[in-house]
Structure 1
Amino acid sequence: MMRRPSPLRPHPPAHGRGAELLRRLDDEDRRVVVVSGPPGSGKTTLVAAWARNRSEARRVDLTRRDDTPIALARTILAHLEPGAVEPGAEPVDPDGCGRLVLQALEAVARSGPCCLVLDGADLITAPEAQQLLADLVECGPAGVRWVIATRHRCLPWLIRSHQDGLVATTIRADDLRMSDAEVEARLGYPAPELAGWAIGVQAYADLGPAAGEEALRDYVHGEVMQKVTTELHRVLHAVAIAGSAGPALALHLTANPACGRLLAGFAASTQLATTSAGAVVTLHPVLARHLHDELRAENWSRYGHLKERYAAWLAANGRLDEAVGAYADLELYDAAAAALLDGWQRTVLSGRCDQVLAAVGLIPEHRIIADPRLCLIVAMANLAAGDHVRWRRWSDVARVQGDPGLMVEPGVTLEHALRASRRLTEALLDDVLSPPPPIAGLRGAWLAIDQVATGLDLLRAGRACEAAASFGIAEVSSRASGDQLALVHALAGGALAAAARGLPAAAAAAEEAIATAGGLCVRSRWVVANAHLALAELSSAAGDVRAAHAAAQAVLDVLDTTAAGLEPRARRRAEQLRAACDIGRSRRAVTPTPGLSERERRILRALSGPLTLREIAAELHVSHNTVKTQVSSIFRKLEVHDRATAVAAARSRSLMTG
């Protein structure tokens, strides 16, 4: 039977970073180079590949058996050139060890360059053996280089050499980690689950993914988990539930006050865990998967307890889809539904309807249908995503299944919530012939939703002042309740109402709505359509054809991301404005604007300032009637009717210069 090759045997680093590291070893001009990294980081692979291509390199694999001066000296002498040591001169006592090795190094150095590669230097722990290595490095011939591979970043016996400038620690674990692109180039396919772990990539390359995964599990079990304490083992099992954990989550999962110290120590000694800002410890995917599966198979009750604790923490921290997923993994659908009922509103209202829809997809549909409150949640999440067809389906189910007096939240019944959502949907679809009165008794986000619907209905009826008042109430309620969706609706509607009355505040409200919408998920950003429409109306009124065209196109772009049918009035108006802008562009291309005289240009420039017509006349030393005549001529040539529009039109046509 063919023996399976070990995934730990050295291979030349074939990836781009490996070639770069080999060049760095070649170019380093200091006497000592330290390659440090935890087990499995690839340091042995690197130094073996480098030594294999260098005729002057002598590679020495150190073991725990070399942890005495005599054994260490004999191992090093055995790897030097034959004849470097006189026959019968092998070390027999600690005092003669250093002298014999130094003589051998001098003999080798006389014949040419020499480099001694010590792999496993961290295994030399006896003070006498460490002193021997320190003496060799500090007192050895100048022509001898040292490449030292170790688990530790700084070996105690090298501290003085560091201070003397002999040591260059040029390569560490982070340098040895391969990028995703390098992993794919080496394997021929992406393997993000390896996270650039050199020994993992090597195992996959040697054995294939299936056998390589098995070899890595054996390695993790034998070389990592068998060497940690029982207490740390339990902590790692808990953290593996989440994959990564900061201090608060780690303490929540383990209830062990020492868990932070244990995790930090583990991350400092292995490449299978890293520490980032905020003391967040992230386990390597291979290790996390191994621990997760091990705990699930060997101790299901503890696994379920930890998973429940993690799900509760996720829900409390606003990660609703992950919390429901954790409960669903345990088939605790009642707990999943409870988490959804508790957290859906702040998730949807903050513009993350995609999280709620993802969470809903993890709960069996028959369990959702059985609870009218869950049906309402699904309906509102779909409305937030712009899908009024699914909203109608689920709101109908909620109305049929539920008791109208059922409280969906304190002070709001199921009937009132369904009526508010229906009013908003009908307003967005332009299905209301005359604005109905607002629903009494609503508060918070539901009041904001109802007032947005009222404002949209009033806008369509041409009652801009009343619409502005409704949008103002909606803005106050949405800010108080944290409803970002209703806030964007309110600001955008208020901007449109202000633009209809020619008020300058329209632009500021529209810009705030657009900025707020940037924090929503992509599927909810259609709610900003009226803000772009308000800017299009303002630009069109000012004669800025380019800005009006861009804003009208933005309306159509955001509405194209939703299911068909929503905001048809905004779509039609945007298409009209865009078409008018296209016609205006064509006309200007065919019929140039009549030229302005030099006096008219001077008066036009004065009109852009704060001066009255009489003050302009005094400034230009002409009569008031002359200025009035010139202003009338400017208005006629620019086809405008007021001072502000004339200035805007002149700027858009570059008539303010000259």
Structure 2
Amino acid sequence: MEPKDENPDSHPGTYVDPLGDPFLRTRFALPTRPATFLRRARLLEHLDREPRTPLVMVNGTAGAGKTLLVADWAAQLRRPVAWLTLDPAIGGPGMFWAHVLQALRAGGVPVPPDTGTVVGGAGSGLSPLGRLAAQLGGTEEPVILVLDDYDHAAPEVSEQLAFVLHHAGPGLRLVLVTRTEPLLPLHRYRAAGEITEVRDAELAFTAEETAALLDLHGVRVTVQAADALVERTRGWAAGVRLSALAARESPDPSLYLKEFEAGHSAVADFLLSEVLNSRAPRIQDLLLRISVLERFCADLANALVGGDDAASLLAALHRDNAFVEDLGHGWYRLHPLFREILRVHLRERCPGLEPELHRRAARWLRRHGALPEMVAHGAAAGDWAATARALVDDLAIGELFTGLRSDDLAGLLADLDPGTDGAAPDLVRAARDLARHDLDRGLTHLRHAHEELPSGADAAAARLSCALLEALAARLSGSPRRAEQAARAAREVRPEVPAHLLDRHPELSAQLLTHLGSTRLWAGHFEAARAALTAVLAGPDAAATVLPRVESLGRLALIEYLDGWPGRAERYARAALSESERFGLHGPVGPDLARLVLAGVAVDRGELGRAQELLDPTPDTTAQDPVATVGRSIVTARLLLARGRSRAAAETAGAPVPAVVTSPWAEGRATLVAAEAHLAEGRPDAAARVLREVADDDPECAVGAARAHVAAGDPSAALRVLDEATAHRRLGPAVRVRAALARAHAAQVEGNQVAARHLLADALQDARRDRLRRPFAEAQPWIEPLLAAPPLRQLAAGWLLPDAEAPARQAEPAPVLVERLSGRERDVLARMAELMSTEEIAADLYVSVNTVKTHVKSVYRKLAVNRRHDAVRRARELGLL
């Protein structure tokens, strides 16, 4: 329709729309910002960052704060802005373009009378649009046109709008405020960098902005309290504002914001009106049913709804910004506050349906191997019997002990109904209790499960699960016989278990071997323990087996440490740390024993500060298995001895450890600490007496006894003990060095200085590779005169004693490591320092030779060297070795 006024700019209100009705001025007015409006500078800066982009899109959910943001931005511009708020009544092409022209006039943009109005429809030409584009393209300053609620526009409008935007050139800057993605060729604008976008993630309020907005409403809270509200609302602007209004009326605003019931609130009214009730009944039913799910895909949603069209419905809801968030790979989740509200209304509209939905979800999740979510829904449905059977029949008991989701699973099973009877529920209860180291309760439930366990192939998975739990109970209680029985039972039943279950759960075999190896270690059967623990490392390298691998590496490290091989112990321990770091294991499921072993090696090297650093973050393992408990006691006691606290050391090492059998090495090391405490306090006879019973079986204790005999003035007895204990045994360097020092001391006491010097030279050469300084500190003061002589001093210079003969040099700045070495590169570097070949390093780390070569090249690059010798030297300068 043509304008009726010859001067359209003088009386804009006289124009009428294509239906002959006067234009409503409110559609062309900038929305008023309320007094409690919070200006957000970061978003305004975003809109101003690219002032020349022809297209601006602010796309977000209902109530995300889109309109007020753009209105605030437009109000600060120093030129006119044409504003149009759309609604369904003006979504068609004819009404749309009539209103656009009126918005331009109201914004002070001259529109000639011959521009005309696009009526729309198949027969409409583009000449009026061409005239409009030409008019806009000829303006000196670009015209800013804001189309609010653009999602109400008809689909064909977008094609016409794209034509005008393209041909207007720099004369038009179009701002679309919308809930949905407009049907414009956005990919072209994005590729050309000609679009400025603000989306939901940026529109979300931060904790600081939330606190500021609450303050504007007279509600003063900490940023931490505001952060909790942001977590619940995901920073959704309407949710924050409505919560602020309600909190203002509450006697305790902070408590209200923390605990308000979203299901019946102004927030709920908004979401139900704007998002749920405006949808078709089919979509409403879908939203209500999927509200029981934390996350969902189309197939899972179909299982709950009983249909087959969830894929298209969910995709449409996401496109419409209907609080359905896309997680990628076909998975979605609901906005948490919307989900909370939907669940309340599900219970009101469909009472009794929720448990059935949880059961359907649990069945689907079980088929698709999502164990924690299956357990969560089974628990929510109260269907404990089916949930326990699923865990046992699917051979999933071991997942309670993988260290990845174990805490989540244990928490879900904490409320397992005590009235649910049967072998499967009792096995699950036993697993839950053993996972939190409640041995007594675990054994009780395990005994009940044994009594109810059926025989036959159908129960093979249950019997294998039972064997796993028996092995764990044996490890926690220090019972080697029970562990061997469990391993034998597992071997017998394993052929009856379906192969696909065994392949799906490699963690079960790895855990069984770890428990068996740890129990053999406790019993002092080191070679048998090595066999079981090494078999774990040879198994599948998967996320599910990472904790058994880390624990096995830690126990192999302890075996090497107890055998006196600190270099080997360190390699295993560092491999455990690296493996743990690779999968992000921390806390009580992390490589605690590996850290303890590294602390013990640090004590032997005289690095007491480093030893304390390693001990400090390691949790007290008293409630866990006895191997870890005694390991911590021994290392702590040796550190206390090194610091001169002999009495505290003896008390720490002698603390009782509950176990079915006594560990020979645990008893021997506690006795050795007590003997060294006696020696430190000048009671060599007492030291020799306490070691008399254990010296025959443990070479290190024999060396301790020899030291005591020498200190008591009986070198002959010392040599006799050493000859008997060390004959025909391959000793580790930590034991060899102490044995050589004991022989050197005996030779000195007998007046044979030549033999003493030779033996001391052997000890220095043997200790230098592993930097074993502690044995020489224990040998004070008799060793000092011998080390003063030039030949021996040269052997000790640089690692045990300061290098007195090195020429004085001007202090140079310490080298700087530009790029940090990874954990695996440090492992390779440590082995390079020990003169291991590339093949030996590969075998030691269980990787290929090519992988080692790649790490070596990376180490050279990061240390700025070209040779192995230079890499080791630079690493020592940087404190990396």
TM-score by length of 1: 0.70
Change (3 A) 1:469 1:550: farther
Distance in 1 separating the partners of 2:48 and 2:98:
30
Match of 2:439 in 1: 391
Counterpart-to-counterpart distance in 1, 2:130 and 2:552 = 87
Structure 1 residue identity aligned to 2:69:
L
Q: 2:594 aligns with which of 531, 537, 541?
A: 531
Residue 149 of structure 1, aligned match among 153, 177, 186: 177
1:19 aligns with 2:41: yes
Partner of 1:472: 531
> Which stretch has the larger CA shift, 94-103 or 133-142?
94-103
Residue 234 of structure 2 corresponds to residue 195 of structure 1 = yes
Equivalent residue for 1:558, pick from 618, 642, 662: 618
SS across alignment from 1:270: coil
**Residue in 2 that maps onto 1:223:** 274
* SS, match of residue 528 in structure 2: helix
Superposition pairs of residues 86-235 of structure 1, within 5 angstroms: 115-125=144-154, 131=160, 135=164, 138=167, 142=171, 146-151=174-179, 153-154=181-182, 156=184, 168-187=195-214, 188=221, 189=226, 190-191=228-229, 192-208=231-247, 214-235=265-286
Instruction: Give the conservation status (yes or no) of the 8 Å contact 1:448–1:474.
Output: yes
Secondary structure of the residue aligned to 2:557 is: helix
Q: Would the aligned equivalents of 1:438 and 1:450 in 2 still touch at CA under 8 Å?
A: no
Distance 1:205 1:499, change over 3 A: closer
**1:517: how far off?**
5.3
2:57 corresponding residue in structure 1: 35
In structure 2, the partner of 1:509 is 572
Aligned to 2:643: 582
1:277-316 matches, within 5 Å, as 277-300=328-351, 302-315=353-366
Pick one of 260, 280, 288 that aligns with 2:311.
260
What is the distance in 2 between the residues matched to 1:80 and 1:416?
Answer: 80
Higher mean C-alpha displacement, 566-575 vs 293-302: 293-302
Letter in 2 for 1:579: L
2:25 counterpart residue number: none
Residue 570 of structure 1: aligned partner: 631
CA contact (8 A) 2:165 2:174 kept: no
CA distance in 1, matches of 2:558, 2:169: 83
Distance 2:514 2:49 in 1: 68
Which one of the candidate residues 480, 484, 494 is aligned to 2:556? 494
Query: How big is each residue's C-alpha offset from its partner over 1:364-411, in whole Å with a ceiling of 9 and x where there is no partner?
Result: 3454xx5566455444444444x3xx3124424654786287668559
Match of 1:350 in 2: 402
Q: Does structure 2 conserve the Cα–Cα contact (< 8 Å) formed by 1:379 and 1:392? A: no
Shift of 1:222: 3.2
Q: Deviations over 1:23-51 (max 9, x none)?
A: 34456533744233145232211122233
* Separation (CA, whole Å) in 2 of partners of 1:535 and 1:85: 81
Contact 1:77 1:101 in 2 (8 A): no
Q: Note if 1:61 corresponds to 2:85.
A: yes
Question: Within 1, Cα distance between the matches of 2:531 and 2:411?
Answer: 33
The match for 2:71 is: 48
The answer to whether the 8 A contact 1:241-1:306 is kept is: yes
CA shift in 2, pair 1:330/1:450, >3 Å? closer
| Structure 1 counterpart of 2:489, from 422, 426, 442 | 442
Find the residue that maps to 1:34 and give its secondary structure.
Answer: strand
Distance 1:399 1:99 in 2: 86
Q: Which amino acid aligns with 2:573?
A: A
Q: Which moved more, 1:53-62 or 1:304-313?
A: 53-62
CA contact (8 A) 1:373 1:398 kept: no
**Residues 273 and 282, structure 1, Cα contact 8 Å, conserved in 2:** yes
Residue 363 of structure 2 aligns to which amino acid in structure 1? A
Listed as ranges, the gaps of 5+ residues in structure 2 are: 1-30, 120-124, 215-220, 248-256, 492-508, 646-752, 774-795, 807-881
Note closer, same or farther for the CA distance 1:24–1:458 as it changes in structure 2 (3 Å cut): closer
Residues 557 and 573 in structure 2, CA contact (< 8 A), matched pair in contact too: yes
What letter matches 2:640 in structure 1?
Answer: A
Q: Which amino acid aligns with 1:61?
A: T
* Larger RCO, structure (CA 8 Å, separation 6 or more): 1
Match of 1:363 in 2: 416
Q: Which residue of 1 aligns with 2:379?
A: 328
Counterpart code for 1:36: V
What SS does the corresponding residue of 2:332 show, helix, strand or coil? Answer: strand
Gap runs ≥5 in structure 1: 1-7, 460-465, 585-628
Q: Secondary structure at the match of 1:44?
A: helix
Alignment length, in residue pairs?
A: 580
Match of 1:79 in 2: 106
In angstroms, what is the RMSD of aligned CA positions?
5.1
| 34 and 11 in structure 1: CA distance in 2 versus 1, 3 angstrom threshold | farther
> What amino acid sits opposite 1:492 in the alignment?
G
User: In structure 2, the residue corresponding to 1:364 is in which secondary structure?
Assistant: coil
Range with bigger deviation, 563-572 or 411-420: 411-420
Helix, strand or coil for the counterpart of 2:388? helix
Aligned to 2:84, the other structure's residue is in SS state strand
Give distance in 2, aligned partners of 1:307 and 1:529: 38
How many Å separate the matches in 2 of 1:282 and 1:471?
Answer: 47
1:267 is displaced (CA, Å) by 1.0
Equivalent residues of 2:483, 2:516 under 8 A apart: no
SS at structure 2 position matched to 1:274:
strand
The 1:91/1:631 distance shift into structure 2, 3 A limit, reads farther
1:574 shift after superposition: 0.8
Question: Retained in 2: the 8 A contact 1:467–1:494?
Answer: no
With 480-489 and 259-268 compared, the bigger mean Cα shift is at: 480-489
CA shift digits 1:545-578 (9 cap, x unpaired)? 22x7635763574342653894443233112221
The separation in 2 between residues aligned to 1:447 and 1:133, in whole angstroms, is 66
- For 1:449 and 1:218, the matched residues in 2 are separated by 56
